[in-house]
Structure 1
Amino acid sequence: MDPHNRAQDVLRCDLCEENVVQMHCDTCLVKLCKTCVGDHISSEECEDPKVVRFQSRKCVPVYPTCALHDSKRCEMHCQQCTVPICFICATSEKHAGHRFKNIVDIFDEKKREFEKKIKDLQENIRVKRADQASKMEKRIADLEKECTALLDTVSKHGEELKRKIDQIVKEVQSEIESIRKNHVELLITTRTEVQQNLTEIDREVSSLNETLDSNDINKVFHFTPNNKIYKNLSDDPVLTMPVFSTKRIVSVQLREMFGTLSDIVTKPTAITKVRLMETPVIVHRIATGYFHLYGVAFLDRIGIWATGDAQQIKLFDVNDKSIKKSIDTKLSGEKLVLVTNQGHLLYAGKGGRTIHIVKREQSEELISLHGWGVRDFCITSADDILVVMTSVNNGRETRVVRYHGREEKEIIQFESKEKPLYSVGGNSKYICENRNFDICVADRDACAVVVVSQGTKLRFRYEGNPSSLRKTEFKPKGIATDSLSNILVSDLDNACVHVVDQNGKFLTFIDCPRVRAWGLCVGLDNYLYVADNASGDVIKIRYLQ
């Protein structure tokens, strides 16, 4: 038999390796021909041979060998010890009083379980995955089409902008050409007049010389030189050229004028290229004009809203620090403000009983509270609004309520039946959602940051870094999260910001000397923006690299 063609040959006996297989030993799983059956049974290699026709193999179960008694097979299973055992083990003291089960029954149960698993894999899981794969193929194709269309739109818009710029350049060049032409014509006219005067002067000089050389007294007496008319020549024309005043082109502004892509919401992904800097750097300050600054909220990559001790909410450019617009409104005492995922402005109304939304410069009431006062609120990745509030009458209750639009969806208040999550009384509560969907509340009265999972279970409390040599105890104020799912908390009394990871582990301090760090936000540009309550400035800090 050619060993290279063995896979294409019929099955051969494992003993003689020549004859065709006809029988099978279910004990040791050996393939046999009829001739070798007797040799196999009489051999000592298989103590309990069970030879069946090859077509009927596996009808008799192959019992496992006992781990303690090599010559015995395990036909039972100890329910307490969850191990196969032989008859000797079953009668030993080790398994005295234990319940046994026929191992074949467990074997059959396992097989039935496997059959269910196979069925589930084939009929459910695989079908769903295949459907998902098909959808992904379609989405990839659709994505390619959408990106191509988007690229074409941007290219066409760019070409249109180029044409408009070229047209503007031509118009300015045409104006310059017209000015040049008029000026040249005036200079040529003046030159012609001057040349004519030169000819007349030469003629006058010639006449004077002729009279000077003459001895004719009468001629000399009657000739009068007329120099005066040549002295009263017109002045040279005064020509001025226009100055082309260029405007400084800022790339960010030019990008904004050209057009921007809308923000997209994706599930959080692990970011490995960004990490904390060893020494954070203050980039610059943005003077807001407020005497006391309370809150900051990021609009986009270049715009940041600020609120302070005035009725106006102001929008600033984070690069050139200029004010872009302001909105007059009635704010709550804490001056709470943030921006939705669609770019709409939210603020708490005076008295802290309402939350308003600003769309197209128009303000409308979105949420109205009865018996509760707003302490802070945030927008989630699912576009819900999380509001931390305290009871108005006695201030003895604090809770977090999730809203979708105006609809109340969920209340988060207790750690257990009788144990509240948050401290009671006071007004200092600040909230944000982390990228892992945890709800983080800076509870100043409790001197802690309380972090609750999406399933409303308490994950941890961060109570400051006890090893740090700070002036006073940790009393958190503003709170924000960043692209690494770190939690940043302003420590007003210690002039710093604590950075904690998503599991509550302290990472570092961002020192803010001579700053009363109040509100916080982390922008799309990965910079930290701190509201300095003392100076009224927004501090832009680079802390990631």
Structure 2
Amino acid sequence: MSEPSDEQAAMQHYLVCGTEDCQKNGQFYCNACHQPLCEQCRDKHQKSPNTKNHEIVLYRHRKHQLPVELCQYHPTRNKELFCRECSIPICSKCSTMKEHKGHDIDDLEEIYADKYAVWQGEFSKIQKYFLPTTNSLKSDIEEDVTEIKKIMESIRTSMKAEAKTLKNLVDEVTSESIENIHTMEKSLLKMLKSQETTYDDYIAYLWKMSDEFQEYLSITNKKLLFTKTLRIQPIPETTKPVPPVFTVGRFSKNDISELLGKVNVPNTKPEKRKIQPMVAESAHMKSTEKQLEQSKEKSDMKPTLSLSSSVTKVREYRVPGVDYVYHVSADKSGRLWASDIIGNLVQTDLQGNLLQKIQTSGGYGYHTATQDGDLIYTDRNKEVIYRIRQDRKITELKKTGDWRPISIHSSRINGDILVGMYKDEEAKVTRYSKSGKEIQNIQRDNQGQELYRYPYYITENINGDICTSDFHKHSVVVVNKSGEHRFSYIGQQSGLFSYGICTDVLGHILVCDSYSKSVHLLDQDGGFLSVILSSQQGIKEPRGVCVDEENNLYVGQYCTNTLRVYKYLR
């Protein structure tokens, strides 16, 4: 069977059947021949005497072909077998040597395929169970943080209110005591005033008596001889006042604490957070993802999404308020945000009616819809990231300092914000939390080489890979969640002038190529699958791509504000 030419590969729109001269969709795969098959060729394959015993599965469940490794002892042969006793891969000729005589020899490709399936199953568990469950637990913690803050604020408010009440009572009691002191003082002063009057009267009496004595003592007065001696009245007795005594209150800080109450942590054992178990995990542990899918198919269950054999245009409409469509973001409300490079950013409904318009400094992939239904966009000239809430209120989320933000993406996995930025001759990708806290910077690979030059567009794949479209490097640069370089896609024989980029629910990467004026479809590991859109579908200058929650593919173009919508999954 001859391989398709470069021209044929560049124009194909789906995975082509591997049978010679067959150009139909290769949705099946022969694990023995290691080639894709269409439905008709699969039937022929199963009926042919030479191939009727071959294992044929859906393409996505294919056995990955054993990587070629030459035998060091027999350089013309590949290592295709595995010696169980020696635990080493060997070639067929090695298996006949005395060193391996009588040993259990297995097919290395079968072992590789089984191992690959197990690892793929483990990876699937991470994506489908561990990551969502852990993110759910993290969300619970965030809710607990909010609840704890609310409770503590309530306790602080109660303590302040109780202290204010006690202070008011202290003021009230003090006022009553002071008033009582005033009354006591008034009574004592009145008593002393009365005593003072008594002594004033007695002094007046003494002066009067003194005058009389003086008169009797006069020499010329003979009356003294015949008058009875005058008697002086005794001094009136009075009493000294008894002043009140202030007894100092006996209280301590602990007494006040008792009065005000205390904050105590209940002696209760903390309740463990509930971790949802994996559904049918025991069965999953005993079978690979392929076996599980095959059992579903045998039960006539509804199949999962897969690539369609053709691309169908659903609709198209003009986007008002922009000169052309360089970037598209679809939000949960079924509405769209679209922009051109000169700073016009508009929101429309699915009929193309203008809902709102924002003016910014322009650029390429500079806006993204969040899981909460907000929109986040960058202003590279102001070096600021903004958030537009559903109530249309615009708030400043983050200043990026000397770095100019040019592309942005809100993670569907955890809500993190990925931002492509540049400064002078440098470029990087920064990860922020939803609140704008800086988490990670990605700039160089393991050899210290610059990963980026000008990341026009950025997105995230279902496995956490960060995918950037770097026009100046003419490539798609993909790193894993930790920032380690995984691969770079540089296009087919004509190279790549990359623009808009997005991913879908199957992990495909879709990227616009301005050189071939088409949209390329890649698998999760950067393998070229097809040219999914080209001039045959009416695409002339693709710039922006986006896949919404209904798996519709939106394509914006240069020199027109018409947005086209396609179906390519079924």
User: Higher RCO, 1 or 2 (CA under 8 Å, sep at least 6)?
Assistant: 2
TM-score normalised over the length of structure 1: 0.46
TM-score normalised over the length of structure 2: 0.44
